[in-house]
Chain A
Amino acid sequence: EIVLTQSPATLSLSPGERATLSCRASQSVSSYLAWYQQKPGQAPRLLIYHISKRATGIPARFSGSGSGTDFTLTISSLEPEDFAVYYCQQRNTLITFGQGTRLEIK
């Protein structure tokens, strides 16, 4: 099983700041890495797939990067609606999710 480890567990930032979220895989996941945003009481929303491709309707302030086992989700300038929990997910070998990073308002 491929384990995805996200860091930090919680990130406290202010609107307008840049957010950098990390996802590390226990073995290579090739390009099969996605990111989701989840707000309380809602289903997750796909943000990024194949490391860096934005899903339909996702603002340009969200970007993904990385390769092999180390990946990053960057939010260039935080909007109030961006404060949520973020998950990474791999599809290289079956499917696993990371444990999540909570992005909270400082």
Chain B
Amino acid sequence: QLQLQESGPGLVKPSETLSLTCTVSGGSIGSSSYYCGWIRQPPGKGLEWIGIIYYNGNTYYNPSLKSRVTISVDTSKNQLSLRLSSVTAADTAVYYCARLPIACDAFDIWGQGTMVTVSS
């Protein structure tokens, strides 16, 4: 059974770059059957889609975040990465990585999430 686990700093300073890693176990991240992506959730608020990446490197980003986001895949390490630049307090959230199979066009497997706080 595929599992995803997010990791990274829990505290990032304003104007710096947030960097998170999602490690995939129980399967390969380099599959043509699905995308992998990132979703975030500010405290007490709803879900916000950040972006997805296909195994061939094609990426799709939320237009509201596109200028600051980079999602990449390292198939040798079976890892997905997120970089979000020039962060502010509004970027404080739980960040989830998740799998989106082409067959269902929805996120069927999620990591447990990691809380990132932007504060000096």
| A95 and B112 contact, Cβ closer than 8 Å, known pairs A34-B106, A46-B106 | no
A43 to B47 Cα, complex, angstroms? 10
Size of interface on B: residues with Cβ below 8 Å to A: 22
Q: Which listed residue, A1, A53, A56, A87, touches B47 by the CB 8 Å rule?
A: A87
Stretch from A18-26, A67-75, A96-104 forming part of the interface with B: A96-104
A87 to B49 Cα, complex, angstroms? 12
Q: Which of B10-43 contact A (CB under 8 A)?
A: 37, 39
Chain A, Cβ-Cβ closest to B112: A43
Q: Which of A12-34 contact B (CB under 8 A)?
A: 32, 34
A-B interface pairs (CB < 8 A), number: 64
Say yes or no: is B62 at the interface (Cβ < 8 Å to chain A).
yes
Q: Which residues of A contact B62 (CB under 8 A)?
A: 94-95
- Rounded to whole Å, the gap between the CB of B116 and the closest CB of chain A is 15
- Determine if A95 and B52 form an interchain contact, defined as CB atoms under 8 angstroms apart: yes
- Determine if A49 and B63 form an interchain contact, defined as CB atoms under 8 angstroms apart: no
Say yes or no: is A63 at the interface (Cβ < 8 Å to chain B).
no
Q: Which residues of B line the A interface, CB within 8 A?
A: 37, 39, 46-49, 52, 60, 62-63, 96, 98, 100, 104-108, 110-113
